[in-house]
Amino acid sequence: MAADKQLAALAVAMLALLAAGPAAGLVHYQSYLPAGCYVGWFPFVGKLMCQTLNPNPSPKHAPTGNGLSPDYYNSTCPDAEYLVWEAVKNAIDENRGIGAGLIRLFFHDAFVRGADASVLLNTTASNNLDTERTAPPNANSLRGFEVIDAAKAAVEDACPGVVSCADIVAFAARDASKILSYGSIDFDVPAGRLDGLQSFANETNTLPGPGSSLAQLKTMFAAQGLSTADMVTLSGAHTIGTSRCRFFTGRLSAMDPAYAKNLSAACNGTGSPDNRVDQDPFTPNDLDNQYYKNIDKFVLFASDAALNSTETIGQVTANANSPTKWQSDFAAAMVKMGKIGVKTRASPGTDGVEIRKVCWKVNSNY
């Protein structure tokens, strides 16, 4: 990385640190992370700030799924899942990349405050504007919000005030998985999530970054109640969608030379860090097991290549050799991820819940 790029990364990290404020307030929420520590997102500075990462966090919320059930809307809004499917199908027919966006949206929702649609807010009850959407892992990156909004409008029309945005995000990720895998990945989504009232940019540091080591990936998934095997399974989502050049041009020399040359051309060397490339150079639009065949010379991130480790290579090879094994593992891991930290009628949590009327704002701002 050129010196000016290091400085730029440093400046961004310092800004993030300042924005995070004093180590008070919400730091208890994921106390295994020091305030302002974004693991694997900012080279150099990130490493310094994350030195005290607790390697054995106890999960804040075990993904038990208490309060969720399949066919949750069967009597209160029988067309809910069909209407979401329709919105997702229409969007993917226009742009297959949106399917990748919807799957990632679900992941970024679940890992921050649980699967409570906090990722969708761009304004909150306390008029907090620095919501999750503005944070480094999400800004200029997450996509598919308008699909969630369209799905929500359709279900509100059919049955007002019944279907939560958090459930819509989970249904949409399932539908995108089914479409992008040509029907090979299909699963029931237990539902009954309620929507949270809060969203804070600084809580997104529970999301692992592209520079994360295997130890850090394991820790950050464990903190959510997910296993190392779940982590390996879910990382397979990097067989679709795109990434900005900034996250991988520093490690081109570790890749297949011909591939690195192509990437370098697409990224203008390191000159255009916001250019985007496909994550999977072979079948970029298909949710398949190609990711595992790409490890480790045809994957973009250090966090992807980290799966070429003694502890994980067995599962990587098994997934590379058996598409059906990975497909069923992926379905199960998506269901499990959707159970993280859910707020339900049985267990509403302490920060307030509702069923939003519009997915990007709380009802008190409606």
Ligand X SMILES: *[C@@H]1O[C@H](CO)[C@@H](O)[C@H](O)[C@H]1NC(C)=O
> Looking at the annotation, which residues are catalytic?
108
User: Is there binding between residue 69 and ligand X (CB under 6 A)?
Assistant: yes
Report what 199 binds from ligand HEM, ligand X, none; CB cut-off 5-8 Å by kind. Answer: none
Contact 347, 66 (CB under 8 A): yes
Residues contacting ligand HEM: total by CB under 6 A: 27
**Can you read off the two tokens belonging to residue 277?**
């490339």
Among 118, 124, 199, 235, binds ligand HEM (CB under 6 A): 235
- Which residues fall within 8 angstroms of residue 3, CB to CB, at 6 or more apart? none
- Cβ of residue 301: shortest distance to ligand X, in angstroms? 15
**Can you read off the two tokens belonging to residue 69?**
């059930």
In whole angstroms, give the CA distance from residue 109 to residue 114: 7
Which part of the chain contacts ligand HEM (CB under 6 A), choosing from 29-37, 179-187, 188-196, 203-211?
203-211
Q: Which residue has the tokens 């409606």?
A: 366
In whole angstroms, give the CA distance from residue 72 to residue 116: 16
Phi, psi (deg, nearest 5) at residue 66: -55, 130
In whole angstroms, give the CA distance from residue 168 to residue 174: 10
Please give the residues from 133 up to 192 whose contact with ligand HEM meets the rule CB under 6 A: 141, 143
- Cβ of residue 258: shortest distance to ligand X, in angstroms? 4
Interaction mask 85-124, ligand X, x per CB under 6 A: -------------------------------------xx-
Report what 27 binds from ligand X, ligand HEM, none; CB cut-off 5-8 Å by kind. Answer: ligand X
User: Is there binding between residue 311 and ligand X (CB under 6 A)?
Assistant: no
How far, CA to CA in Å, does 284 sit from each of 246, 274, 294, 300, 363? 19, 19, 12, 13, 39
A 10 A CB-CB count for 152 gives 25
Residues forming a β-bridge with 278: 242
Contact 262, 230 (CB under 8 A): no
Footprint of ligand X on this chain (CB under 6 A)? 20-21, 23-27, 35, 69-71, 74-75, 122-123, 128, 130, 145-146, 149, 200, 202, 256, 258-259, 262, 268, 271-272, 281, 296-297, 308, 360
Footprint of ligand HEM on this chain (CB under 6 A)? 40, 97, 100-101, 103-104, 107, 141, 143, 208-210, 212, 217, 231, 234-235, 237-238, 240-244, 247, 301, 303
